[in-house]
Amino acid sequence: MLGDLNLPMDEVEPGLHRERVAALLAAGYDAVAVVHTAAGRLSDADRCKFQPLTAGELAAARPDARRALTLRSGASAVATATLPGAAAASAASTSGSSSSSSSSCGCHLQQLSRLHFVAADVVQAAQLGPGGANGELLRGYDIVSITPKNERVLHMACTSLEVDVVCLELSSRMNLKLRPPAVKAALRRGVHFEICYAPGLREVTARRNLFCNAQALVRATRGRNILLSSAARTGWEVRSGLELVHMAALFGLSRQQAQDAVRLAPRAVLAHAAARLAGRGAAAVGTAAPAGAGDVEMGDASAAAGGAGEGAPSDKQQLAARGGSGTSSAAAGAAARKRAAGGS
């Protein structure tokens, strides 16, 4: 599955939006996500108002999109025709009853909605927490993502918030430090870290920051749960899947990891979002394992581990206590047997 899950919509004209979605369709993409960005306090103005584009709108935007639609329509018809009669009827009824955010508009492109929240502090970030008052608003979107502005919000996003994607501002100077406990918690929960490449195409300094910060992110995650998206404003900023694989290699990903970031990560994000909407996925939050030996180089992590263990006996102390008690009981038994033998 080839998907671009970051298409900002708030400041983009409808004509440019149709052009970039048509460019993605022509490039072979299977899914796109239109993003509404919110900050501060969520309100009714942030409710989902997304409407998918129709096949006619995409065909009119670009000639190559019209050819892509023709090819996909033919492939879909051939695939349905080769099925047995009952299976073909079932497939036709399923496609006819699909939701408006998928390929029901006839363009054979899954179009999704995404809420992107910019959190400046933990009070704002708590609006995305489990059991919050904005649950109905959040369920109106297919995907929920967050951009943390400080390390406390980043830690919340990785460990407890009901989000699918963490999007860091990689094209600017990062003031955040990616700490291993938070990153590991996000990986265990299935949360993905997003790299948006289009800002690096617009300006030299942004490109330099993007590559530097993306490489740091890849080192922190060891190449796992990386999602590549465009954040494109126009169709000219869209890149093909093969170009993204080569770009991901420059970020420090191996070839297999680069292919996963392009092909598998969008599907994994959608699966995580579906589990979140169904009320699953929160069970693994409290099962965080302690940081590994390689994490002690982080000062805060080692200090936290030391503070957590203060006042509790270590494993060696417990073993020594058990060993000492066993030795004393054995000595007492030997003395009793010696007294009994002397008395007899």
Shared domain check, 320 and 277? no
Shared domain check, 277 and 329? no
Total domains in the chain come to: 2
**Does 309 fall in a domain?**
no
Looking at every residue in the chain, the average pLDDT score rounds to 79
Residue 266, domain CATH: 3.20.20.140
pLDDT in tens, 141-172: 999 999 999 999 999 999 999 999 999 999 99
Shared domain check, 273 and 233? yes
**Does 171 fall in a domain?**
yes
Shared domain check, 322 and 182? no
Shared domain check, 258 and 118? yes
Shared domain check, 341 and 203? no
**Does 307 fall in a domain?**
no
Shared domain check, 188 and 122? yes
Residue 135 CA, distance from chain mean position: 19
Shared domain check, 237 and 127? yes
The closest alpha carbon to 109, from 78, 65, 147, 142, belongs to: 65
Shared domain check, 247 and 155? yes
What's the pLDDT at 44?
92
Average pLDDT, integer, range 223-234: 95
Range of the domain at 137: 3-293
**Does 36 fall in a domain?**
yes
Q: What are phi and psi of 34, to 5 degrees?
A: -90, 130
The more confident residue out of 221 and 314 is 221
Shared domain check, 321 and 185? no
Shared domain check, 35 and 145? yes
pLDDT in tens, 256-314: 999 999 999 999 999 999 999 987 544 333 333 334 433 323 333 333 333 334 444 44
The closest alpha carbon to 114, from 165, 171, 63, 42, belongs to: 165
**Does 210 fall in a domain?**
yes
